[in-house]
Copies of this chain bind each other. A is one copy, B any other.
Amino acid sequence: MADLDVVGIGNALVDVLSQEDEAFLAGQGLVKGAMQLVDEARARELYAAMGPAVEISGGSAANTIVGVASFGGRAHYVGKVRDDQLGEVFSHDLRAVGVGYSTPAATTGPPTGRCLIVVTPDAQRTLTTYLGASVHLGPGEIDKRLIERASILYLEGYLFDPPEAQRAFRAAADMAHAAGRKVALTLSDPFCVDRHRDAFRELVERHVDVLFANEAEIRSLYRTTDFDGALRQVRGHCAVAALTRSERGSVVVAGDEVHVIAASPVKTVVDTTGAGDLYAAGFMIGLSRGLDPATCGRLGSLAAAEVISHVGARPQTPLAELAGRLLP
């Protein structure tokens, strides 16, 4: 039997968040709500233009895994940092919440990756990522015994950008399936889908059991402006698809069933960073514990609502408390 709920693999990043106005995005040529990959020089240039910032551990799959742990789940993370101060921050913040993390830090090469996050007054976040050390996660870092221990292997779409990580991703998916485990994937970002559309379609059709995507991502996958059309296409391809729609909640497709899940109420939306990551956390803890798809979706909504009510992409209130009787 699996003794872990979820193992997640992703780009290990520290978030650097600042509040800026709309004009800042325009001035820096940033596309609101999207993620852009940049080199170190451009990251420095953008950072220099940003106002005072807060540093806080991030990384999409890492946020999700922390969410799983916050629900009381047993979770492990795989991702690469450098042996520098930001790498130490990243590792500390995972271990401090009980997440297993044993990927050795790189001792040479680029520094720990970071994600520069501009939060606009509408609470939207715009991401600029310098991958740094995370590009050096390769198939050699994937521990077969670890993958076999988890009910669900969770992979972030962003991992497709660094070629070595993409190989690690595929190796891990094969190991999980061979052990009879579920493979979950998040499409991460519409532009990331655009960069790797054929590979993602092939994955979704053949290798993914649980797919997470927001509207823009699922439309990008099937090159359509029609959400319902995209939903019909994904339906035949993977056992479960959880499609998030911001304040309109989510739609969960599981075999013949379609569940429309309302968004959980939020007093004030402060920073939407991590909404999708935490939705996936809630959904997967439910799935791992054998709950029905609609309850999984509600757990996802609940976790997303918590994380958008404050700055930063990780929960500040234990999600197990918020879940209450939803998660026995």
Tell me the A residues contacting B by CB distance below 8 Å: 18-19, 47-48, 50-57, 66, 84-86, 89, 92-93, 96-97, 111-112, 311-312, 314, 316
A57: which B residues are within 8 A, CB to CB?
Answer: 52
Once the chains are docked, how many angstroms separate the CA of A111 from the CA of B52?
Answer: 21
Instruction: Among B55, B85, B311, point to the contact of A84 (Cβ < 8 A).
Output: B85
In the assembled complex, how far is the CB of residue A38 from the closest CB belonging to chain B, in whole angstroms? 17
CA distance in complex: A314, B52 (Å): 9
9 more CB-based (< 8 A) A-B contacts, given A50-B92, A51-B96, A55-B56: A18-B96, A48-B92, A52-B66, A52-B96, A52-B97, A52-B314, A53-B96, A84-B84, A85-B86
A55 to B15, CA, bound (A): 10
Chain B residue contacts of A316, Cβ below 8 A: 19
Counting chain B CB atoms within 10 Å of each CB, the highest count among A18, A89, A311 belongs to A89
Q: Are B54 and A312 in contact (CB under 8 A)?
A: yes
Please tell me which one of the listed residues B47, B54, B93 contacts residue A52 in the complex, with CB atoms under 8 A apart.
B93
Q: Is the beta-carbon distance between B54 and A55 smaller than 8 angstroms? A: yes
Contacts of A19 in B (CB 8 A): 316
Select from chain B the residue with minimum beta-carbon distance to A66.
Answer: B52
A48 vs chain B, min Cβ distance (A)? 7
- Contact A89/B51 with A19-B316, A316-B19 known, Cβ cut-off 8 Å: no
Residues of B within 8 A of A312 (CB): 54
Q: Which residue of B lies closest to A94 (CB)?
A: B52
- Chain B residues whose C-beta falls within 8 Å of the C-beta of A97 in the assembled complex: 51-52
A208: min CB distance to chain B, Å: 30
The interface residues of chain B lying within 8 Å CB-to-CB of A96 are 18, 50-53
State the CA gap A149–B112 with chains docked (Å): 40
CB distance from A55 to the nearest CB of B (A): 4
A82, closest chain B residue (CB)? B85
